[in-house]
Amino acid sequence: MTPLGDLIVSGGRGLVYGNRGCLHDKSGAIRRRYATKRWIACRLQFRDRRRTRLMAPGRYTELFFLDEATALAAGHRPCAECRRADYSRLTEIWSELHPGRLGADAIDDQLHTERLVANSGDRRLHELPYASLPDGTFVLHGGVPCLVLAEGLLPWSAGGYRKPQRRPAHGLATLITPPSLVAILQLDWAPLVPLLHPSATSGGTSH
């Protein structure tokens, strides 16, 4: 999965597992972008559960993200079962930011309006000042999804982040990560799963 929430074919599985319902048909061909408003991000391993076959007919489509920052950008939030601690902390902060709008359904409804344009299914983008964006946010810069990290913008690839570019000090960014999740990151929410792929802090990949 890309930060824009698009499905791609890649040899790597990344660090985070995801689900947005059954997207494939009996032959394994992708037929839709999502099947539910409940877009979640999970652990790669949980209680020794293992599917004997990926993309089984009638079962949800297995999705994989480079890291948690990518999953958040795509509009996925932590699973309430396999990532209970992360989910609980996120909902605690959410209740402070959105009084009266509590529970998974309220969160999923809000995120759905922020990630997709109503009645079209197109990806919805937002604008915020570059200076206000916390680490872990994704922006569209020069047509490329980039991770905000300190003073840099790191171009995303399925295999890892590329060498950073200078982050603009002024002006508006084209924001990919839903604003409600940006607000969570601004309050220093630190998930237990890897927020960032190791390439984010190792100087980036060469490809």
Task: With respect to residue 10, please indicate whether it lies within any of the assigned structural domains.
Answer: no
DSSP string, 89-142: HHHHHHHHHSTT--SHHHHHHHHHHHHB-TTT-PBP-EEEEGGGPPTT-EEEET
Full residue range of the structural domain in which residue 45 is found: 16-200
> Which neighbouring-strand residues pair with 191?
none
How far apart are alpha carbons 130 and 146 in whole angstroms?
Answer: 12
**Based on the number of CB atoms within 10 Å of its own CB, is 152 exposed (0-12), middle (13-18) or buried (19 or more)?**
middle
Q: Is the pLDDT of residue 160 over 90?
A: yes
Number of domains in the chain: 1
Length of the chain counted residue by residue: 207
For residue 3, being part of any structural domain is answered with: no
Res 87: pLDDT: 96
* Strand residue runs (E) in the chain: 16-19, 40-42, 63-65, 77-78, 126-129, 138-141, 144-149, 152-155, 165-166, 172-175
Residue 96 belongs to a domain: yes
Above 80 in pLDDT, residue 48? no
pLDDT digits (tens, 9 = 90+) for 123-146: 999 999 999 999 999 999 999 999
> In the chain, what percentage of residues exceed pLDDT 70?
94
In this prediction, residues 45-56 reach a mean pLDDT of 68
pTM assigned to the model: 0.92
Among 116, 142, 150, 109, which Cα is nearest to 4's?
116
| Mean pLDDT of the 195-207 span | 81
Mean pLDDT of 48-57: 69
User: Residue 188: pLDDT above 90?
Assistant: no
From residue 148, alpha-carbon distances to 64, 85, 188 in Å are 21, 25, 14
pLDDT, position 204? 64
Using 50, 70 and 90 to split pLDDT, how confident is the model at 118? confident
Residue 5: inside a domain, yes or no?
no
What pLDDT, on the 0 to 100 scale, is given for residue 12?
72
Query: What Rg, from alpha-carbon coordinates, does the chain have?
Result: 16
* Closest of 84, 5, 103, 6 to residue 43, by C-alpha: 84
Report residue 45's pLDDT band, with 50, 70 and 90 as the boundaries: confident
Neighbours of 114 (CB within 10 A): 18
Query: What does pLDDT average to over the chain?
Result: 91
In a domain? residue 175: yes
In a domain, 9, yes or no: no
Per-residue pLDDT, averaged over 157-182, amounts to 96
Segment 178-190 shows an average pLDDT of 95
Q: Does some domain include residue 4?
A: no
104 belongs to a structural domain: yes
